Amino acid sequence: MATVEKEIREESEKITKVKKLVKKRAEELEDKALVQTPISEGTSWKELQFQYPNRIVRLGTLFSGIGAIEHAFQRLGLKHEIVFAGDIEPNCKKSYFANYQIKEEDWFSDIRDFDARKYKGKVDFIVGGAPCQAFSMVGHRLGFEDARGTLFYEFARVVKETQPKVFLFENVRGLLNHDKGRTWHVIHDIFEELGYDVKFRVLNSCDYGIPQHRERVYCLGFKKKTDFKYPAPIELEYKMYDFLEDYIDSKYFLKEKGVKFVTSHKNREKSYTQINGDIQLCQKRNQQFNWHGDFVYHPDSELTLSDEAFDEFIFDVRDVEEKYYLSDKVAKYVLAGGTKSFKTSTETDLDIARPLLQSMHKMHRAGVDNYVTHKGRIRKLTPRECLRLMGFKDSFKIVVSDTAMYQQAGNSIVVDVLIAILKQLDITKYGASVS
């Protein structure tokens, strides 16, 4: 608590100057409504192709965390170069350096000490989600009075110093209505004054393929005027249990009836099915047992890591370690319905997860955090499951403690939402041509 209080009340000449500046701007705001950018009604982003796949996108990230946008580029197989990145949390640096290629001299710890002028003209796309506790409904909601609330200004400063073709600023939904909308108005106006065409919209991760309710503001700034519209939602095909480590009974395993059908001599002779063979026929998405397609036989009934181009949602399934199961005492606490003045849901095993929090390691009650049952016992989500529910594939290396990983996952941006945005705007159009 003392550390948090210090972060909130921290003062320096620079922070004081920024606070005075934004307060003055808030008092001088014009009375105009800021309307969210509409959703695209054209071709679904799932079907869109990148026009310039051979271009290299030069990427700079601020408040980089565990590199959600970097992982999005990896998943899409896009050529990119990390020009700079940074985070004040030392454990984030451990995770980042274990998973991405970056030079030590291009990493910074405190954005307030980061001089980005040497990168001017050398970065195409800047991405960052400034600490959101100053505006979050689960935080103190002090806004610019919270020292962390002034960090958006540092994001704007780096944009000004580097002049990227596009930037993406992400934050909690509460930013839009904080201080009756004046906070967002100040931020929006500053971005426009930097010379950018600003678009923004609240997007929920469960509308873009990930079974987690997580609403965030995604603000894009374009150096040139554009008619960009945000990617349209898609039907959610997965439930939270599809991302868990101890569920073998998932949509990727055939039921007994289906196994008998696809392995029958008659169907194999007619080439309706190919087992452990080359792909010749593809099964249709909605077919359950009338399969005409290709299958892989796993003698140990365990899923293994797959080629993402084939299916990006097949995970390694194994028994969950004992340490993630709750003791009777802790289980009784998290499943308590609350007191007379405080009521909370006791529901577990949700189809769509509650928002993952950076404080998950503290194990709040079931109405706040996510819990699942397996073989009659209740457990918390594992760090790997949290990463999956943020869109990180199992190729992401975990090199920090569980506590640190919970914090890093809860602070991250959902990768799948970023993928939808990257496809919708066709990020390759803003890349650099290979000489």
Structure-token match 């990148």, residue found? 50
Q: Is residue 297 part of a domain?
A: no
Report the amino acid identity of residue 216.
Answer: R
Domain count, the chain: 1
The first and second tokens of residue 13, run together, are: 């000449």
115 to 36, 44, 65, 69, 106: CA distances (angstroms):
32, 40, 19, 22, 11
The per-residue pLDDT for 127 is 98
Q: Of 349, 368, 411, 366, give the one whose Cα is nearest residue 386.
A: 411
Q: Is residue 311 part of a domain?
A: no
Query: Catalytic site residue 282?
Result: no
The per-residue pLDDT for 261 is 55
Q: Is residue 165 part of a domain?
A: yes
Q: Is residue 347 part of a domain?
A: no
Compute the distance between CA of residue 147 and CA of residue 130 in angstroms, rounded to an integer: 12
The per-residue pLDDT for 190 is 86
Residue 240 near residue 209 (C-beta atoms within 8 A): no
φ/ψ of 77, rounded to 5, equals: 70, 30
- Structural domain of 217: 2-236+410-430
Considering the entire predicted model, what is its pTM?
0.80
Which is the catalytic residue, given 132, 206, 219, 386? 132
Compute the distance between CA of residue 350 and CA of residue 372 in angstroms, rounded to an integer: 8
Compute the distance between CA of residue 354 and CA of residue 324 in angstroms, rounded to an integer: 18
Q: Of 247, 209, 134, 197, give the one whose Cα is nearest residue 418.
A: 209
The per-residue pLDDT for 16 is 58
Q: Is residue 242 part of a domain?
A: no
Q: Is residue 109 part of a domain?
A: yes
Q: Is residue 11 part of a domain?
A: yes
The per-residue pLDDT for 99 is 97
The per-residue pLDDT for 140 is 41
Q: Is residue 364 part of a domain?
A: no
Q: Which helix (H) or strand (E) holds 221?
A: strand 215-222
Give me the tens of pLDDT residue by residue for the chain, a chain 435 residues long: 344 344 434 445 655 555 566 666 656 666 667 899 999 999 999 999 999 999 999 999 999 999 999 999 999 999 999 999 999 999 999 999 999 999 999 999 999 899 999 999 999 999 998 764 444 344 443 333 443 457 888 898 999 999 999 999 999 898 888 777 878 888 898 899 899 999 999 999 999 999 999 999 999 999 999 999 999 999 999 999 889 887 655 554 555 555 555 555 555 555 555 555 544 444 444 444 444 555 555 544 434 333 444 344 444 555 688 899 899 999 998 888 766 666 677 899 999 999 999 999 988 888 899 999 887 889 999 999 999 999 999 999 999 999 999 999 999 999 999 999 999 999 999 999 876
CATH number at residue 185: 3.40.50.150
Burial of 269 (0-12, 13-18, 19+ CB in 10 A): exposed
The per-residue pLDDT for 354 is 95
